Structure 1
Amino acid sequence: MNSNGRHLRGAVIAGAVVATLSLAPAAVAQSPAKAPSAAGATTLVFDKNPNDPTNSRLNVYRGTKPLAAYRAGSGNGKEIKNDCAIGKGWMPNGTWKIRNKYRTYNGQRIKGFAVYLEDMKCSSGKAKRTQMFIHSEMNRDGTQGRTEPRRWDGAGDYKSNGCVKLKPEDIVKMFRLLDRYGWPTHLRVVN
């Protein structure tokens, strides 16, 4: 025992001396270990607007503090609110794992800044929504193309095949913001 009332022990492991420290109960009570707080975690929440799915919001939070809100859309056509309508309906509610993020994605339909999400079943469980992203309309290098689907023309471009779709400048801002504050591991989808 040392002069502070702590027990010191030493052990020899593979030729190295390893010291262990055990604190007296009074010392433990005076300096409790603090658990990491989720208060500072960065989160993404896509809040679908049932009145106009192409005027929904993708929100970024740091803990409970809102950092940004971007207009976003999901889905198109008559079945826009049917989350089981593959290629037409909006994104199903739930917590989607973020698989990866790209600044120069080069998919067949999606290019440039993109966040790739896990596959998830729709609300009825009858269909699985795959190839879901947060993306925009742009070229692979992030510039605007000359024709659809690489050129952003306005409000009609918020329509998608179910992915969350942002204006090109908004997705670039979102990437910068998340690079600064930390990338979340999930996207939460609500309405």
Structure 2
Amino acid sequence: MSSNGRRLRSTVIAAVVATTLSLTVAPAMSPAAATQGPTKTPSAVTATSLVYDKNPDDPTNSKLIVYRGKERLISYRAGSGTGSKNECTRNAGWIPNGNWKIKGKYPHYNGRYIKGYAVWLEDMPCSTGKKRKEMFIHSEMERNGKQGRSKARSWQDGDDYKSYGCVKLNPTNIEKMFKLLDSIGWPTHLRVVS
């Protein structure tokens, strides 16, 4: 990609972050603070947002970016899909663009296929109107966050960024992301762009 293309892409992402700030929340209030009266809504300067920037050249080499206000705090390599850019192809296509509501975050998720650190996203339609369901941000690990012995429970190489459509990070980075967002506040949505 040319330097002009990279600058344009950075400008577009900055605009998306600015418009996404209204979808974010500050850290939860303590019971003591709750009794002290109303609090201010988080400002655009301090709000946290999470943006998944899909790489059209290689869907398994995309970026999951954490912003605090307009400041880019960190970017993690992430993948979605098996290489297909068709967002409506179940179990192969990458995650559709849009604002995905975060339904839950779990450091010890114990699903049938997904275990350990997991962020559950609300079902959302793709371009044909067909819903993409059971979408997560996750990795490959055991429920306790440790590496297992089976291929499905241990991160081995770059092919592990492939998924059935979920956003996947390596185990070290998803743990770091959880610690960061636990400390600065979780957003309410994941914004997906390409």
Q: What TM-score bracket applies, with the shorter chain setting the length?
A: 0.7 to 0.9
Residue 139 (1) aligns with residue 145 (2): no
Q: Which residue of 2 aligns with 1:180?
A: 183
Report the Cα distance in structure 2 between the residues aligned to 1:135 and 1:160, rounded to whole angstroms. 10
Q: CA RMSD in A?
A: 1.2
Post-superposition shift, 1:152? Answer: 0.2
Of residues 47, 54, 61 in structure 2, which corresponds to 1:55?
61
2:103 alignment counterpart: 99
Q: What is the distance in 1 between the residues matched to 2:174 and 2:155?
A: 12
Matched, 1:85 2:89: yes
- Unaligned segments of structure 1, at least 5 residues: 1-33
Partner of 2:74 in structure 1? 68
Query: Number of aligned pairs?
Result: 155
Distance 1:51 1:84 in 2: 18
d(CA) in 2 for partners of 1:153, 1:83: 26
Decide whether aligned partners of structure 1 residues 62 and 84 sit closer, same or farther in structure 2, where only a CA change above 3 A counts: same
Measured after TM superposition, the shift of residue 35 of structure 1 is: 7.1
Bigger share in helix: 2
Find the aligned partners of 2:135 and 2:115 in 1 and give their Cα distance.
13
CA 1:182–1:138: 2 relative to 1, 3 Å: same
The aligned counterpart of 1:12 is none
What amino acid is the match of 2:144?
A: D
Following superposition, the deviation at residue 37 of structure 1 comes to: 2.0
Q: Which has the higher strand share?
A: 1
TM-score (norm 2): 0.78
Q: Which of these two proteins has the greater Rg computed from alpha carbons? A: 1
Q: Which residue of 2 aligns with 1:39?
A: 45
Partners of 1:93 and 1:123 within 8 A in 2: no
The structure 2 residue matched to 1:108, chosen from 81, 89, 112, is: 112
- Change in Cα spacing, 1:124 to 1:139, as seen in structure 2 (3 Å) is same
Q: Which runs of 5+ in 2 are unaligned?
A: 1-39
Q: Is contact 1:70-1:166 (8 Å) kept?
A: yes
Contact 1:134 1:163 in 2 (8 A): yes
Is the contact made by 1:42 and 1:62 (CA closer than 8 Å) also made in structure 2? yes
- Work out whether residues 104 and 113 of structure 1, in 8 Å CA contact, stay in contact via their aligned partners in 2: yes
Work out which structure has the larger RCO, using CA pairs closer than 8 Å and 6 or more positions apart in sequence: 2
Moved over 3 A (4+): none
- Could you tell me the percent identity over the aligned residues? 65
